[in-house]
Amino acid sequence: MAYSEKVLDHYENPRNVGVIEDDTSVGTGMVGAPACGDVMKLQIKVGDDGIIQDAKFKTYGCGSAIASSSLVTEWVKGKSLDEAADIKNTHIAEELALPPVKIHCSVLAEDAIAAAIDNYRQKNQ
């Protein structure tokens, strides 16, 4: 299968790989399952002003899953939680030119953002 330039770029040079040390300003979302062939872990660090200052990811999955998570770490930075929650899988799929069989990777990335935001909000109720 041919990958788009953008998928290849994110795959070759993934942005924001890593782990943020956990505290109350950090939201962590982990979605997917090993049995399905992909697991995404997305972390966001939120400032006092409610803006996402940093994001990191780790992903087990195909190239499109890695690219989708790498892309969303770039996109969520500088956004408020509500703005970040507005990132939809269609945006991700379009940006990376994902073929139909890879749409689930973008869905997973959207889910990962939602899970990370949820986790942050639970900690900071």
Partner 1 sequence: MSNIKLPIYLDYSATTPIDKRVADKMAQFLTIEDNFGNPASRSHEFGWAAEKAVDEARQHVADLINADPREIVWTSGATESDNLAIKGAAHFYRKKGNHIITLKTEHKAVLDTCRQLEREGFELTYLDPEENGLLDLDKLKAAITEQTILISIMHVNNEIGVIQDIEAIGEIARERRIIFHVDAAQSTGKVDIDLEKLKVDLMSFCAHKTYGPKGVGALYVRRKPRVRLEAQMHGGGHERGMRSGTLATHQIVGMGEAFRIAREEMATENERIRMLRDHLYDGLNDMEEVYVNGDLEHRIAGNLNISFNFVEGESLIMALRDLAVSSGSACTSASLEPSYVLRALGRNDELAHSSIRFTIGRFTTLEEIDYTIELVRAAVEKLRDLSPLWDMYKDGIDLNSVEWVAH
The catalytic residue positions are 36, 105
- If one asks whether residue 56 binds partner 1 (CB under 8 A), the answer comes out as no
Residue 124 structure tokens: 């900071």
Nearer to partner 1, 6 or 11 (CB): 11
Interaction pattern, residues 95-124, with partner 1; x per rule: CB under 8 A? ------x--x--xx--x---x---------
Among candidate residues 3, 2, 14, the one with its CA nearest the CA of residue 66: 14
4-8: long-range pairs with CB below 8 Å, 24+: 4/96, 4/97, 4/98, 6/67, 6/71, 6/95, 6/96, 6/97, 7/63, 7/64, 7/67, 7/96, 7/97, 7/98, 8/63
Q: How far is the CB of 80 from partner 1 (least distance, A)?
A: 25
- If one asks whether residue 32 binds partner 1 (CB under 8 A), the answer comes out as yes
- If one asks whether residue 20 binds partner 1 (CB under 8 A), the answer comes out as no
Q: How far is the CB of 51 from partner 1 (least distance, A)?
A: 25
Residue 52 structure tokens: 């996402």
- If one asks whether residue 30 binds partner 1 (CB under 8 A), the answer comes out as yes
**Is residue 112 within 8 Å of 69, Cβ to Cβ?**
yes
Number of residues forming the site for partner 1 (CB under 8 A): 32
Residues that bind partner 1 (CB under 8 A): 1, 3, 11, 14, 17, 19, 30-41, 58-63, 65-66, 101, 104, 107-108, 111, 115
